[in-house]
Amino acid sequence: MKALITGGAGFVGSHLVKRLLEGGDEVYVIDNLSTGSIENILNEPVLAELVDRVDVVFHLAAAVGVRLIVESPVNTIETNVHGTEKVLALANKKRKKVVLTSTSEVYGKADTVPFREDGDLVLGPTSKGRWSYACSKAIDEFLALAYHKEKRLPVVVVRLFNTAGPRQTGRYGMVIPNFVKQAILGHPLTVYGDGM
């Protein structure tokens, strides 16, 4: 199999790259090597060439990290929505399969457990930048599913919950690595607001 991984140098993407290569697959990666920008995703000639070469696109590129999302909601929305829009449009032209990574954040304030894919989404107010990430990823899902329904593009949506493991950093406000670091150093754990 030949695969393109957007965001392939990131935490989740780098593990997927490693696993696919170990399985003998051919892998192409597009990544801007920093979070929060869509420059490489929107380089359409490069993206189009890579989509043309592969059998499947794993779209992992996104604005991530609580700090970035809260401080830069415009960047978050533009990165997530426009990047996904370009990936889906190019994949559709070439009829390539797409695996779109979304997030458990789309469940928002829902309190029905266990969460269900067909459950209602309950987001907070638009005046809170925190919800820009959840909303932008929900739009990504709507767009991917619309491409499937209207244009028969083969799409799979995967909602990731808190991911943790080797090579993950707390640099952008990721909760688990920050808690681990604080615990190892014997520092109090940082909790914002009521932790919800």
**pLDDT tens for residues 120-153?**
999 999 998 889 999 999 999 999 999 999 999 9
* Inter-CA distances, 104 with 48, 69, 85, 141, Å: 29, 15, 20, 12
Q: Beta-carbon neighbour count of residue 196 at 10 Å?
A: 7
Task: Measure the CA–CA gap between 20 and 32, rounded to whole angstroms.
Answer: 21
Rg (C-alpha) for the chain, rounded Å, is: 17
pTM of the model: 0.87
Tokens of residue 133, six digits: 């990430």
Angle at 15 between CA 57 and CA 9, to 5 degrees: 70
Residues of the chain below pLDDT 50 = 36-37
Helix 131-151 × helix 73-94 angle, to 10°: 20
- DSSP calls for 65-128: -HHHHHH-HHHHHHHHHHHHHHHHHHHHHHT-EEEEEEEGGGGBT---SS--TTSPPB---TTS
For the chain, domains (ranges, CATH) are 2-164 (3.40.50.720)
Task: Measure the CA–CA gap between 171 and 152, rounded to whole angstroms.
Answer: 39
pLDDT by residue (tens digit) across 25-42?
999 999 876 654 455 556
- Do residues 17 and 5 make contact, with C-beta atoms less than 8 angstroms apart? yes
User: Is 66 exposed, middle or buried, given 0-12, 13-18 or 19+ CB atoms closer than 10 A?
Assistant: middle
- Do residues 100 and 155 make contact, with C-beta atoms less than 8 angstroms apart? yes
Report the pLDDT value the prediction gives residue 172, as an integer from 0 to 100: 64
Catalytic residue among 133, 147, 172, 192: 133
Report the pLDDT value the prediction gives residue 31, as an integer from 0 to 100: 85
Catalytic annotation on 133?
A: yes
Give the containing element (helix H, strand E) for 59. Answer: strand 56-59
